[in-house]
C-alpha cells in the first residue's frame, strides 16, 4: 500500500519504511474495514429477514401438502340411495348430501366396531365429526357419476377434519383440544386408535393443488385449483397482449420515432406509469372494463387486461434498453448493404435484442403474477368454488388468483387456513422462482455482449 | 418477427371472447366480512346440492357491498349484498337514483360480539360501564367530566384484574364497530352518568341537537394508546393479542368459537356469550345480520331465488344447521323470513 499516487499526499510525514504504516494509512485502512463490515451487516440483515420468512413460510406451509385421510369400506345401500330402484339420475339427485352422510356414518360405526375401537366415550355425532363434511358430497358425486356402484361395497377415502389432521401434524394437542369447542380429547383418542388400526393415515395431498376453495367448515378440502387456473388464464392474456404491444411500441419509439417534444412526453409518461401503484390500475379497470365495456365481474379476462396495462410500461422499458444495447454498427451495416429500415430492424436488431426483451417480459409477468391489489376492485378477491371452463369461455367465468387466495386464507378464522395460506405462498414462490430461472437461463444462453 | 401476427391473433381472441354470450349463470354476492363465512358455507352447500353453479361470494365490508348493490341493474352488477348492519337511507336513495327500485331485506340471524383476552391471562367480567370508563375519552368522576386517566382495569372497577388497559377494537369501517358503539359505549356512557353531564354541558339549539351531540361525545375514545383501532380482520386482532398478552380484543362470536384454545372470553353483565345466551336475549351485545337482494335480478339470474330460499331454509339457518354450528344465532322468527323470501316481499321504507 502506498499513497504516492494520491495528489494530496503529505511527503514530509512519510515514515522511514514502507512496511510500517503511518497514522493516516491506518485510518484509511480502518475506514475500509468499517465499510466492509457495514456491507456485510447490511447483507446479513437482508439474509436474516429472508431466512426468517422462509422458515416461517416453509415451516407452516409444508403441512398443507400432506393431509390426513380416513379409509373405510362403505356398502352403498340401494334402499337408501335409490329408493325407486330405477337408477334414474333425476330421482337419485333428490337424495341430498344429508342422506349420504348417514350412509357414511353407518359405515364408519360398523368399521370402528369391526376393529374393536371403543366409541362409547363420545356421541355418535362426534364420531362422524372426525370426518370432513366434504365426504358426503364426494360420495354423492361418485354415485351420481357411476350409478352401477349402488349395492356394492367400495373402499372410500375421505379427508379427516382439520382438527384431526392438525393432531397428526402436531398443531392440535390433547391440551388444546380440552379448550377447543370443535374437538374433544376423547375424539382424538378415537382418531389415535384408528391411526393405530391403519384406517387413518397422513399422506401426500395432490388435492391441495387441484381442488377448489372451500368454506370455513371444511378447511381440509381447500385447494388452489381455481386460483392456479385463474392465474394461468391471466398470464396467458398478459403475455399475448403485452408482448406484441410492448415490443411494437418500443421499436417505434426507439428506432423510428423522431426525437421531439411529443416523444419526450410519451417517454416520461411511460417511465411514470411504471411507478404508478397497482391499485390505481384496478380503479381504471373497474371504470373502463366493467362499468363502461360491460365485461363480467370476477372474470380472468378483466384481470388479464388490467395486469396487461400494469405490465406494459415494464416491458416497454426493458425492450427499449435491449434495443439500445444493440450497437449502431449492426444497423449501419444492414443499411449499408441495402436493407430497408424495416429489414434492418426485423432481420438484425430485434433478434439480437430478443433475450433482453424476453427477460424483461418474464420479469414483468412475474410481477403481474404476484399482484393482488388491482384484482380486489374487479371482484376477483372472492370465494369461487367452480372451476372456469377452458378458454375462451373460461376467460369470462369467475376465478381467483394465487396471491388473492393467500390473502383470503389469512383472513379466515379456522387456524387450519394459516397452514394452507403458507402452502399457497410456497406454490406462488415456486412459480416465481421458475419464471425468474427461465429469465436467467435465457439471458445466459442467448445474450451477446459487444 | 411475428409481433404483428401475435397482435392480430390477440385482437381476434378478445373479439371472439367478447362475442361469447355474456349471460351470467352464477349468483354474485359481495359485502360484509362478518357474513362472508356464512355465505360461503351456504354457497358451497348450494353448489353441491343444486344444479346451479356455486355462487361467487366477495367480502369487502358491509358499506362497500351495499354501494355495489346500488350501482345499477344488469348482469355486471351484483345480485346480493351481505351486511352486518341495517341498510341506510343514503344507500336506498343511491339505489333509486341508479334504477334499483326494489330491494328485499333478509335477516339471516344474529351475531354476538365478545371481548376476549389471552387464554393464560386473568378472567374479565365486564359491564358496559366498565368498558366506557376504561376506553371513553371523558368520563364522569364525582359528578364532573374529566379526561380519562385510568391506567389499570382495577382503577375502573376494583373487581377487575390489576392489568394495564389495552384494548383492540374494530376500526370505524367495520359494521362491528357500530354495535360496539351503540351497545357498549353509549350504554356505558348512560350508565355512568357521563351522558347526563354531556347533555348539561351541550350547547345544541334544541333537545334533539343536544342528544345528538351528547351521543357523539359518548363515542369519543381516549387517544393515549389504551384503545387501538384495528382496521384489519379478527385474525389481526388475534395476532396482536398473541404479541400483547395483557391486551383485550373485540371479536365476533363465531371467530372466538373457532379459537377457544387461544382466547378466553369475558362476560358482559355477568353473562357468558354463547349461541344460547344470545338467542335468549340475555347477552346484550349482539346484532342482526342481513343480506339485501336486488329484486330486478330475480328470475333473470338463474339460481338466485333458489339460493336465497336455501339460505334461510331450516337446513341451513335453522338452530341445528351448519350456520348455527359455525356461530350464527338463529333467528326465532325464521319462519316469517322464509315466507317473505318465498313471496318476494320487498322491504318497506326505513322507520
Using CA atoms, how far apart are residues A116 and A130, in angstroms rounded to an integer?
17
Q: Rounded to whole angstroms, how far apart are CA atoms A366 and A381?
A: 19
Say yes or no to pLDDT of A255 above 60. yes
Check residue A15 and give its pLDDT. Answer: 57
Nearest alpha-carbon partner for B109 in B301, B304, B320? B320
- The pLDDT value recorded for residue B22 is 55
Q: Contact at 8 Å (CB) between A419 and A171?
A: yes
Quick one: pLDDT at residue B21? 44
Interface test with B, best of A138, A285, A411 (most B CBs within 10 A): A411
Domain range for A343 = 225-446
CB pairs under 8 A between A and B: 145
Is the Cβ pair A415, B78 closer than 8 Å? no
- For residue A218 the three cell numbers come to 371444511
Which residues of chain B does A251 touch, with a Cβ-Cβ cutoff of 8 Å?
A: 3
Note whether B351 contacts A: Cβ–Cβ < 8 A: no
DSSP B262-305: TEEEPEETTBPP-HHHHHTT-S--EEEEEEEEEGGGTTTSTTHH
Query: In total, how many domains does chain A have?
Result: 2
Do A172 and A97 lie in one domain? The reply is: yes
Chain B residue with CA closest to A349: the answer is B1
Asked, for residue A147, whether it belongs to a domain, the answer is: yes
Domain end position, chosen among A151, A174, A205: A205
Chain centroid, CA B210 distance in Å: 28
Average pLDDT value for chain A = 88
Task: End-to-end CA distance of chain A: give it in Å, rounded.
Answer: 35
Which residues of B fall within a CB distance of 8 Å from A408? 59
What pLDDT sits at residue A19? 78
For B58, the closest chain A residue by CA position comes to: A382
Is residue B273 a contact partner of residue B254, using CB atoms and an 8 Å limit? no
Instruction: Say if residues B255 and B113 touch (Cβ distance below 8 Å).
Output: no
B261 confidence band (pLDDT: 50, 70, 90): confident
pTM of the model as a whole: 0.84
Q: Are strands B28-31 and B80-83 parallel, antiparallel or unpaired?
A: parallel
Give yes or no: residues A112 and A246 share one domain. Answer: no
Q: Tell me if A371 is assigned to some domain.
A: yes
Decide if A200 is inside a domain.
yes
Q: Specify the pLDDT at position B202.
A: 80
pLDDT in tens, B27-46: 999 998 889 999 999 999 89
Query: Kind of pairing, strands B103-118 and B263-265?
Result: antiparallel
Residue B15 has pLDDT above 80, yes or no: no
Residue at A367 is within a domain: yes
Query: What H or E segment, with its residue span, contains residue B109?
Result: strand B103-118
Q: Quickly count: other Cβ atoms within 10 Å of residue A211's Cβ.
A: 20
pLDDT confidence of residue B274: 87
Grid coordinates belonging to A312: 406494459
> Is residue A198 domain-shared with residue A239, that is, in the same domain?
no
Each residue of B118-128: pLDDT tens digit? 988 888 899 99
Which pLDDT score, from 0 to 100, does residue B40 have?
93
- Label residue A175 by pLDDT band (50, 70, 90): confident
Q: Are A158 and A69 in contact (CB under 8 A)?
A: yes
What is the percent of chain A where pLDDT is above 90? 42
pLDDT at B334 over 70: yes
Band of pLDDT at residue A444, cut at 50, 70 and 90:
confident
Burial class (CB in 10 A: 0-12, 13-18, 19+), A118: exposed
pLDDT in tens, A380-397: 889 999 999 888 888 989
DSSP A37-76: HHHHHHHHHHHHHHHHHHHHHHHHHGGGGEEEEEEEEEE-
Residue B276 — very low, low, confident or very high, per pLDDT cuts 50/70/90? confident
DSSP assignment of A151-195 = TSEEEEEEEBPHHHHHHHHTSS-HHHHHH-SS--HHHHHHHHHHH
pLDDT value of position A13: 59
- What is the per-residue pLDDT for B139? 86
Find the helix or strand (DSSP H, E) in which A403 lies. helix A402-411
Query: B118: helix, coil or strand?
Result: strand
The pLDDT tens digits for A264-281 are: 999 999 999 988 998 999
Chain A environment of B43 (Cβ under 8 Å): 215, 383, 385
Of A277, A316, A319, A284, the residue nearest A303 (C-alpha): A284
Assess B41–A contact: CB distance below 8 Å, yes or no: yes
In this prediction, residue A3 carries a pLDDT of 47
Q: Indicate which CATH number applies to the domain containing A263.
A: 1.10.3720.10
The Cα B280–Cα A118 span in angstroms is: 37
Q: Does residue B154 carry a pLDDT above 50?
A: yes
Phi-psi region of A56 (alpha: psi -120 to 50; beta: other; left: phi over 0): alpha
Examine the domain organization and report whether A246 and A393 are in the same domain.
yes
> Which of A274, A438, A417, A251 shows the shortest CA–CA distance to A359?
A438
Residue A298 touches partner B, C-beta closer than 8 Å? yes
For strands B267-268 and A66-75, give the pairing. unpaired
Q: Chain A: give the shortest CA distance to residue B284, in Å.
A: 22
The reply to whether A42 falls in a domain is: no
8 Å CB contact of A216 and B326? yes
| Mean pLDDT value of segment A332-350 | 93
Tell me the chain B residues in contact with residue A255 when contact means C-beta distances shorter than 8 Å.
none
- Nearest CB partner across the interface for B58, out of A177, A379, A391: A379
pLDDT confidence of residue B4: 57
Minimal C-alpha gap between A438 and chain B (Å):
21
Domain identity same for A153 and A288? no
- Residue A166 makes CB contacts below 8 A (sequence gap 6+) with A172, A415, A416
Residue A89 falls inside a structural domain: yes
User: Cβ–Cβ of A182/B258 closer than 8 Å?
Assistant: yes
Contact flag A216-B75 (C-beta cutoff 8 Å): no
Could you tell me if A190 and A268 lie in one domain? no
Chain A residue whose CA is closest to B258: A414
With residue B94 as reference, give the H or E element that holds it: helix B89-97
Put simply, whether B233 touches A (Cβ < 8 Å) is yes
The predicted pLDDT at position B20 comes to: 44
Structure confidence at residue B79 (pLDDT): 93
State the pLDDT at residue B183.
87
Q: Which pLDDT score is estimated for B14?
A: 54
Does the distance separating the beta carbons of A398 and B26 come in below 8 Å? yes
Neighboring chain A residues of B57 at a CB cutoff of 8 Å: 382-383
The pLDDT value recorded for residue B137 is 87
Residue contact A412–B26, C-beta within 8 A: no
Q: Phi/psi of residue A270, each to 5°?
A: -60, -45
- What is the DSSP secondary structure assignment for residue B71, as one 8-state letter? T
The residue-averaged pLDDT of A213-222 equals 89
Is residue A313 one of the residues assigned to a domain?
Answer: yes
Hey, which residues 46-105 in chain B have their CB within 8 Å of chain A? Answer: 47-49, 51, 53-54, 56-60, 71, 74-78
**Res A424 pLDDT > 90:** yes
Tell whether A295 is within 8 A of chain B (Cβ): yes
More confidently predicted of A176 and A10: A176
Q: Name every residue whose Cβ is closer than 8 Å to that of residue B335 and which is 6 or more positions away in sequence.
A: none
| % pLDDT > 70, chain B | 93
Residue among B4, B9, B11, B14 with most chain A CBs within 10 A, to mutate: B14
Distance, CA of B109 to CA of B39 (rounded, Å): 12
User: Could you tell me if B241 lies within 8 Å of chain A, comparing CB atoms?
Assistant: no
| A47 occurs within a structural domain | no
Q: B188 to each of A232, A304, B98, B148, B248, how far by Cα in Å?
A: 54, 51, 40, 14, 17
Q: Does A171 touch chain B (CB under 8 A)?
A: no
The pLDDT assigned to A403 comes to 94
Band the pLDDT of A428: cuts 50, 70, 90. Answer: very high
Q: Mean pLDDT, chain B, as a whole number?
A: 86
A231 in the same domain as A200: no
Question: A379 and A237 share a domain?
Answer: yes
Specify the fold of B122-244: D-Maltodextrin-Binding Protein; domain 2 (3.40.190)
pLDDT-derived band at B49 (thresholds 50, 70, 90) equals confident
Classify domain B22-110+289-343 by CATH architecture.
3-Layer(aba) Sandwich (3.40)
Output B350 or B226, whichever has higher pLDDT. B226
CB spacing of A182 vs B45 below 8 angstroms = no
**What does the pLDDT look like over A25-38, one tens digit per residue?**
899 999 999 999 99
pLDDT one-digit tens code per residue, A113-144 = 888 888 888 887 788 888 888 888 888 888 88
Query: Distance from first CA to last CA of chain B, Å, rounded?
Result: 68
B27 touches chain A (CB under 8 A): no
- Per DSSP, which regions of A170-269 are E strands? 200-204
For residues A94-102, give the mean pLDDT.
81
**Percent of the residues in chain A that have a pLDDT greater than 70, as a whole number:** 96
Distance of CA B35 to the CA centre of its chain: 7
Most B CBs within 10 Å: which of A239, A250, A294, A297, as the mutation test of the B interface? Answer: A297
ipTM of the complex: 0.83
Q: Between A52 and A141, whose confidence is greater?
A: A52
Q: Are residues A251 and A350 in the same domain?
A: yes
Total residue count of chain B as it appears in this document? 351
Note whether B222 and B135 are within 8 A (CB).
yes
C-alpha–C-alpha distance, residues B68 and A297, integer Å: 11
CB distance A163 to A220 below 8 Å: no
Which residues on A lie below 8 Å from B4 (Cβ)? 244, 248
Residue A369 has pLDDT above 90, yes or no: yes
pLDDT category at A182 given cuts 50, 70, 90 is confident
Amino acid at each position: 500500500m502506498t499513497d504516492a499516487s494520491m495528489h494530496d499526499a503529505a511527503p514530509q510525514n512519510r515514515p522511514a519504511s514502507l512496511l510500517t504504516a503511518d497514522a493516516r494509512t491506518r485510518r484509511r485502512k480502518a475506514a475500509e474495514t468499517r465499510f466492509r463490515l457495514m456491507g456485510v451487516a447490511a447483507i446479513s440483515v437482508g439474509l436474516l429477514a429472508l431466512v426468517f420468512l422462509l422458515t416461517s413460510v416453509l415451516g407452516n406451509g409444508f403441512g398443507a401438502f400432506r393431509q390426513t385421510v380416513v379409509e373405510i369400506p362403505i356398502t352403498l345401500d340401494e334402499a337408501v340411495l335409490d329408493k325407486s330402484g330405477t337408477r334414474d339420475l333425476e330421482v337419485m339427485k333428490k337424495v341430498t348430501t344429508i342422506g349420504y352422510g348417514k350412509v357414511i356414518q353407518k359405515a364408519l360405526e360398523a368399521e370402528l366396531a369391526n376393529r374393536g375401537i371403543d366409541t362409547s366415550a363420545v356421541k355418535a355425532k362426534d364420531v362422524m365429526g372426525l370426518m370432513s363434511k366434504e365426504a358426503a358430497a364426494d360420495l354423492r358425486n361418485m354415485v351420481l357419476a357411476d350409478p352401477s356402484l349402488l349395492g356394492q361395497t367400495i373402499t372410500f377415502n375421505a379427508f379427516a377434519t382439520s382438527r384431526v389432521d392438525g393432531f397428526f401434524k402436531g398443531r392440535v394437542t390433547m391440551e388444546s383440544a380440552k379448550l377447543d369447542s370443535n374437538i374433544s380429547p376423547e375424539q382424538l383418542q378415537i382418531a389415535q386408535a384408528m391411526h393405530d388400526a391403519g384406517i387413518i393415515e397422513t399422506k401426500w395431498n395432490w388435492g391441495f393443488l387441484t381442488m377448489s376453495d372451500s368454506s370455513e367448515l371444511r378447511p381440509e378440502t381447500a385447494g388452489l385449483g381455481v386460483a392456479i387456473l385463474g392465474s394461468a388464464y391471466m398470464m396467458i392474456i398478459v403475455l399475448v397482449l403485452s408482448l406484441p404491444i410492448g415490443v411494437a411500441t418500443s421499436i417505434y419509439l426507439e428506432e423510428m420515432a423522431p426525437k421531439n417534444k411529443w416523444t419526450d412526453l410519451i417517454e416520461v409518461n411511460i417511465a411514470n406509469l411504471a411507478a404508478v401503484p397497482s391499485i390505481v390500475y384496478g380503479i381504471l379497470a373497474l371504470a373502463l372494463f366493467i362499468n363502461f365495456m360491460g365485461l363480467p365481474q370476477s372474470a380472468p379476462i378483466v384481470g388479464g387486461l388490467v395486469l396487461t396495462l400494469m405490465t406494459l410500461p415494464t416491458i416497454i422499458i426493458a425492450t427499449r434498453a435491449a434495443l439500445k444495447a444493440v450497437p449502431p454498427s449492426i444497423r449501419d451495416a444492414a443499411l449499408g448493404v441495402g436493407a430497408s429500415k424495416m429489414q434492418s430492424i426485423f432481420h438484425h436488431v430485434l433478434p439480437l435484442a430478443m433475450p433482453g426483451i424476453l427477460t424483461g417480459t418474464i420479469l414483468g409477468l412475474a410481477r403481474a403474477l404476484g399482484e393482488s391489489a388491482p384484482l380486489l376492485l374487479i371482484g376477483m378477491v372472492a370465494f369461487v368454488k367452480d372451476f372456469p371452463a377452458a378458454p375462451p369461455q373460461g376467460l369470462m367465468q369467475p376465478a381467483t388468483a394465487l396471491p388473492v387466495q393467500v390473502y383470503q386464507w389469512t383472513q379466515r378464522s379456522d387456524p387450519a387456513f394459516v397452514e394452507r395460506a403458507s402452502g399457497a405462498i410456497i406454490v406462488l414462490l415456486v412459480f416465481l422462482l421458475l419464471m425468474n430461472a427461465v429469465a436467467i437461463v435465457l439471458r445466459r444462453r442467448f445474450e451477446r455482449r459487444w | 418477427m411475428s409481433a404483428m401476427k401475435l397482435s392480430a391473433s390477440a385482437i381476434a381472441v378478445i373479439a371472439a371472447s367478447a362475442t361469447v354470450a355474456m349471460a351470467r349463470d352464477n349468483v354474485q354476492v359481495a359485502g360484509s366480512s362478518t357474513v362472508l363465512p356464512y355465505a360461503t358455507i351456504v354457497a358451497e352447500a348450494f353448489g353441491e346440492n343444486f344444479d346451479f353453479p356455486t355462487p361467487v361470494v366477495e367480502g369487502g365490508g358491509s358499506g362497500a357491498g351495499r354501494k355495489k348493490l346500488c350501482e345499477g341493474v344488469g348482469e355486471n352488477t351484483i345480485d346480493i349484498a351481505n351486511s352486518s348492519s341495517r341498510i341506510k337511507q343514503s344507500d336506498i336513495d343511491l339505489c333509486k337514483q341508479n334504477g334499483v327500485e326494489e330491494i328485499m331485506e333478509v335477516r339471516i340471524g344474529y351475531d354476538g360480539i365478545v371481548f376476549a383476552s389471552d387464554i393464560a391471562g386473568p378472567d374479565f367480567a365486564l359491564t358496559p360501564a366498565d368498558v366506557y370508563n376504561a376506553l371513553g375519552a371523558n368520563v364522569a368522576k364525582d359528578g364532573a367530566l374529566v379526561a380519562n386517566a385510568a391506567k389499570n382495569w382495577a382503577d375502573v372497577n376494583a373487581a377487575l384484574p390489576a392489568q394495564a388497559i389495552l384494548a383492540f377494537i374494530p376500526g370505524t369501517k367495520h359494521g362491528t364497530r357500530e354495535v360496539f358503539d351503540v351497545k357498549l359505549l353509549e350504554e356505558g356512557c348512560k350508565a355512568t352518568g357521563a351522558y347526563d353531564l354531556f347533555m348539561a354541558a351541550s350547547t345544541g339549539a334544541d333537545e334533539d341537537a343536544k342528544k345528538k351531540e351528547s351521543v357523539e361525545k359518548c363515542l369519543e375514545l381516549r387517544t393515549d394508546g389504551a384503545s387501538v383501532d384495528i382496521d384489519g380482520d379478527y385474525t389481526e386482532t388475534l395476532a396482536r393479542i398473541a404479541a400483547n398478552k395483557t391486551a383485550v380484543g373485540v371479536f365476533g362470536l363465531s371467530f372466538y368459537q373457532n379459537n377457544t384454545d387461544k382466547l378466553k372470553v369475558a362476560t358482559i353483565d355477568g353473562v357468558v356469550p354463547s349461541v344460547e345466551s344470545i338467542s335468549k336475549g340475555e347477552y346484550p351485545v349482539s346484532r342482526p345480520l342481513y343480506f339485501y337482494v336486488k329484486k330486478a335480478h330475480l328470475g333473470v339470474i338463474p339460481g338466485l331465488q333458489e339460493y336465497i330460499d336455501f339460505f334461510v331454509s331450516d337446513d341451513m339457518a335453522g338452530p341445528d344447521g351448519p350456520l348455527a354450528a359455525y356461530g350464527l344465532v338463529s333467528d326465532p322468527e325464521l319462519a316469517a323470513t322464509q315466507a317473505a323470501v318465498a313471496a318476494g316481499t320487498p322491504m318497506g321504507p326505513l322507520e
